[in-house]
Amino acid sequence: MTSIENISNPGIPKAPESLPAGYAKIKPEFVVLRPHIADPSGVEEPANDTGNEQSSFKDLDPALNSGADEPPKKKLRLSGAEKKKLAREEGKKKRGMNTNRKFALMKDDVQLCWKAAVGEQCPLQEKCYYSHEVSKYLETKPRDIHFPSPSALSSDPPFVLSSGSKSDGLGINSIDPTASCPVYLRTGVCPQGFKCRFLGNHIKRDDDSIDEPGWKLIMDESLAAGAKEDCEGNNIGISVIKQVRTRKYPTPLADRYIAETQQDKEVQDSHDMSVDMNINTTRPGTLPEMAINQLPEECQKETPDVPMRPQEKKRLHWKGLLYLAPLTTVGNLPFRRLCVDYGAQITCSEMAVATSLLSGSREEWSLVRRLPSERAFGIQVAGSKIAPLTQIAEIFRSEFGLGAEGRGTGVDFVDVNCGCPIDLVFKSGAGSARLCQS
């Protein structure tokens, strides 16, 4: 028997009288039918013509089709660590969703050996994995990049005048003799060699070769000599960094100073302990007699006052000079170069952590480089203990020496950071934390 509601609304099914636990009865006028979505495979499911009210109600809620007879599963309780781990895994799944990006490794058709690329003889010879045939590499090399001169630019289309034929007169289309290598024009030699994308500026035929006409790189000795004088100073070699990292670099002055400091500290601690014991054994309100006699004999010896040497009395004469304060992540080489051009007379490097320098961090060692135009240059070091600070100061003195105006190398002074408020630096005992140390 059909109800009146189903006659007036034939498209709305009647709610069944018996429902699973947890489901409430809904009036037919409040039932919302979901739109039918066609199957992308093109196979349509047969319509439900059985007239079963329970099955038509299940079509409205897919939760009923997943097994209403089964009891609901209990929600797992996760600990804080498990929740964080689950969140990290979900975050990793969401990373890199743009799969259309291409990160293909660009390789040359002929992979030239780096020794052959700079015109040197490869020590591995036939055992080398890469090719040593320069002519074959130049045949497959992409054409040089050409930057038009200002005279070739125009305000009318095509805005850049054609440079003429691509024929280079050298027999290989990859070489453009009109190209200009900025590194070669600056330093007189290009470290990329035959792999440079501006190769036409520093290559020529080598007619003196024994087998077949080869190629030769051009080097301008006058530009190279001028660039050597104008390059940055305070460069440190890889072998020295390895010695510092493995603690094989000799620092006799620092070691002796650290040993004396440790000995003085032990003597002072033993003296404080003996005085405390004497105070605790006396009557309340009295002091131990002749407490001065409890000092070790070494402390009671009378020694003549040694006058300070002139080197120890050296003072920095900064009166009336313009000082550029050390700026972390800002005071790099290009910034200091501009400041020197605008009148800065005393400059300082970015903050370098002493422990990172001693661990051989090449990124940290790059902060101590100096420009030839810097008249007075200092290195700022951050550290919490005496040992690494004294050791790194002696390494500066041994490797760089004292600063000399016009030489472009050396260190004029070492600045100990006592004001950095960064939490990472403060919690390590360096920076502004040193103001709290006695």
Q: Which residues are catalytic?
A: 420
User: In the numeric block, which tokens belong to residue 307?
Assistant: 């006058």
> Which residue type occupies 333?
L
Check: CB of residue 122 under 8 Å from CB of residue 112: no
CA distance 294 to 288: 10
HSE-up of residue 438 (Cα within 13 Å, Cβ side):
1
Q: Which of 115, 114, 118, 167 is nearest to 143 (CA)?
A: 167
Work out the number of other CB atoms within 10 angstroms of the CB of residue 57. 18
Exposure string for 310-328, b = 16+ CB within 10 A, e = fewer: eeeeeeeeeeeeeebebbb
What is 157-182 written as a DSSP string?
TTSB-----S--SSS-TT--TT---H
CA distance 204 to 144: 15
CA distance 301 to 427: 41
CA distance 71 to 69: 7
